[in-house]
């Protein structure tokens, strides 16, 4: 066992957020509407977004938590000062596409939006915090969803190209770590968040989804190329949702099923973005589902040539599978489901907690790709209680994070090249799947509640002080 002495000096400790989940500032600086802005609060929000006939409009009778979120738009200085107090080396955040191109299809970027992120990056650099920027994190312009059907339309590649060129040129001296599409593989299950369209009939799942993916892969390579040309000293990664798939038992049929699920869900996108080629297993899958991609001349060469520098991934849980699932066996994450693993406990939201699974994931990814890895999301969504004296004693969160950090230290000893760790929701924010504020991930508590009430005051939790020690000892004091 290791006590965590193995973290390299350059290790990027920090936290992660996404624009739509913390900024607020709905119409500030001419921002346009994105899909998170039309998501009401509540557990049904993703189902509403995907329901047939949904018009992507605001319903005045509903509450939309992302509109104000935690008001980072106006409070970023205070929040970044708190990140700095914890000793963050890196802060993973996203740029809201709709601040830069409010409708997505304009020819020129919006200066007010560009200026906002200049202020944020300058504030981070004041404290020596490296911004790690996701270009597209579940916040596609509504106009592109409504008028173009999301990434199904090839024109979106051109709009995205304009967007990345604008931000690379503007921030070339300020941002050296980038990622293209957040959890790109999530669209295999739920395309609305990343690919910008919903599936209403099961038979529509195949052709449109993979055509949209092809467009995203082309766009990803365009972004990698542009990033390397405009910012030669930058690194740009892909970002995948990784949950290792375990077979429920040693029945070879279940083992094979787990392997196939892992190939499709965990490796398909990364294979294209990291190795630069469609993997062989997907060809059979395409054939069996009558998928014929419209691939234009030069696409495959572009994809081959401009592969990512590193793999960023989110890790919250593992997934256990068997062929014959009974409904009562099921367990649920925010995007995936599997069967209950008898060896694991789950969070209050049913996400199975599995630190060893992180070590397994790191070994699997590094073994397959041999490129640097970056854990850009990991954390525990939990209810927190503010005590009479104002303290918040989130030992459950500390335990969760400690075990996952230990797993990373083990993986580094296994030989994995790991760049950093930015835990999810370092400051409490809006949950992506449920829109709740009460599902808290932060080291910093925000006084904001599911009904929209609250002062937005920030408070340090016990985990704040704990994480500060973790960083200052480079992972030795856990």
Residues binding ligand BG6 (CB under 6 A) = 18, 21, 138, 182-183, 314, 334, 377, 381, 424, 431-433, 439
Q: What is the C-alpha separation between 27 and 430, in angstroms, rounded?
A: 18
Minimum Å distance from CB 237 to ligand BG6?
14
Which of these is catalytic: 377, 388, 410, 436? 377
The minimum distance between CB 275 and ligand BG6, in angstroms, equals 23
Task: Please report how close the Cβ of residue 353 comes to ligand BG6 at its closest, in angstroms.
Answer: 14
The Cα 78–Cα 71 span in angstroms is 11
- Annotated active-site residue 377? The verdict is yes
Instruction: Give residue number: closest CB to ligand BG6.
Output: 433
**Please, what is the end-to-end C-alpha distance for the chain in angstroms?**
14
Q: How far is residue 22's CA from residue 247's CA, in Å, rounded to a whole number?
A: 37
What is d(CA 126, CA 123) in angstroms, rounded to the nearest whole number? Answer: 5
Q: Measuring CA to CA, which residue among 63, 64, 62, 83 is closest to residue 72? A: 83
List, in order, residues 6 or more apart from 119 with CB less than 8 Å away. 76
The answer to whether 447 and 454 have CB atoms below 8 angstroms apart is yes
Measured from the CB atom, the residue of 110 and 185 that comes closer to ligand BG6 is 185
Handedness of CA 416, 422, 425, 431 (dihedral sign): negative
Nearer to ligand BG6, 65 or 102 (CB): 65
Q: Which three-class secondary structure state does DSSP give residue 459?
A: strand
Can you state the percent helix, strand and coil of the chain, rounding each to 5? 45, 15, 40
Virtual CA dihedral for 84, 85, 87, 90, nearest 10 degrees? -30
Q: How far is the CB of 263 from ligand BG6 (least distance, A)?
A: 21
Cα within 13 Å of Cα(22), Cβ side: 27
Please say which residue, 136 or 307, places its beta carbon nearer to ligand BG6: 136
CA distance 439 to 345: 18
Shortest Å, Cβ 379 to ligand BG6: 8
**Which CB sits closer to ligand BG6, 373 or 432?**
432
The structure tokens 């429920």 sit at 248
Q: How far is the CB of 312 from ligand BG6 (least distance, A)?
A: 11
- Cβ closest to ligand BG6, residue 42 vs residue 279: 42
Alpha helices in 379-457 (DSSP H): 395-413
* Closer residue to ligand BG6 (CB): 109 or 442: 442
Q: Which residues are catalytic?
A: 377
């Amino acid at each position: 066992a290791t006590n965590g002495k193995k973290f390299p000096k350059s290790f990027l400790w920090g936290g992660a957020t996404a624009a739509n989940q913390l900024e607020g500032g709905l119409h500030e600086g001419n921002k346009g509407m994105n899909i998170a802005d039309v998501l009401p609060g509540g557990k049904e929000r993703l189902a509403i977004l995907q329901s047939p006939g949904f018009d992507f409009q605001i319903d005045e009778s509903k509450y939309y938590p992302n509109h104000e979120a935690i008001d980072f738009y106006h409070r970023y200085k205070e929040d970044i000062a708190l990140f700095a107090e914890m000793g963050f080396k890196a802060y993973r955040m996203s740029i809201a596409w709709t601040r830069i191109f409010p409708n997505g299809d304009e020819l020129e970027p919006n200066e007010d939006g560009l200026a906002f992120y200049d202020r944020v990056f300058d504030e981070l650099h004041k404290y020596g915090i490296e911004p790690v920027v996701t270009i597209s994190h579940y916040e596609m312009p509504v106009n592109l969803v409504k008028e173009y059907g999301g990434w199904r339309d090839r024109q979106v590649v051109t709009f995205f190209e304009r967007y990345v060129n604008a931000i690379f040129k503007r921030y070339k001296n300020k941002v050296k770590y980038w990622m293209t599409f957040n959890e790109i593989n999530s669209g295999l299950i739920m395309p609305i968040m990343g690919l910008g369209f919903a599936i209403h009939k099961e038979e529509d799942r195949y052709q449109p989804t993979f055509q949209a993916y092809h467009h995203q892969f082309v766009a990803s390579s365009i972004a990698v190329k542009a990033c390397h040309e405009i910012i030669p000293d930058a690194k740009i990664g892909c970002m995948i949702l990784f949950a290792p798939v375990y077979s429920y038992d040693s029945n070879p049929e279940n083992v094979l099923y787990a392997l196939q699920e892992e190939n499709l869900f965990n490796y398909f996108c990364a294979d294209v973005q990291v190795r630069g080629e469609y993997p062989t297993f997907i060809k059979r899958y395409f054939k069996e589902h009558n998928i014929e991609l419209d691939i234009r001349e030069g696409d495959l060469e572009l994809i081959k040539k401009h592969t990512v520098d590193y793999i960023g991934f989110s890790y919250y849980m593992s997934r256990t599978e068997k062929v014959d699932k009974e409904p009562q066996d099921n367990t649920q994450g925010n995007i995936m489901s599997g069967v209950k693993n008898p060896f694991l406990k789950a969070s209050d939201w049913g996400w199975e907690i599995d630190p060893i699974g992180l070590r397994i994931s790191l070994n699997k990814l590094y073994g397959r790709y041999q490129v640097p890895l970056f854990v850009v999301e990991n954390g525990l969504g939990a209810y927190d209680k503010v005590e009479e004296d104002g303290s918040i004693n989130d030992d459950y969160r500390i335990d969760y994070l400690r075990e996952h950090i230990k797993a990373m230290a083990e993986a580094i000893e296994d030989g994995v090249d790991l760049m950093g760790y930015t835990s999810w929701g370092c400051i409490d924010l809006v949950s992506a799947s449920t829109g709740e504020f009460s599902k808290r991930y932060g080291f910093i508590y925000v006084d904001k509640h599911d009904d929209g009430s609250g002062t937005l005051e920030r408070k340090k939790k016990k985990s704040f002080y704990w994480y500060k020690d973790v960083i200052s000892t480079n992972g030795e004091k856990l």
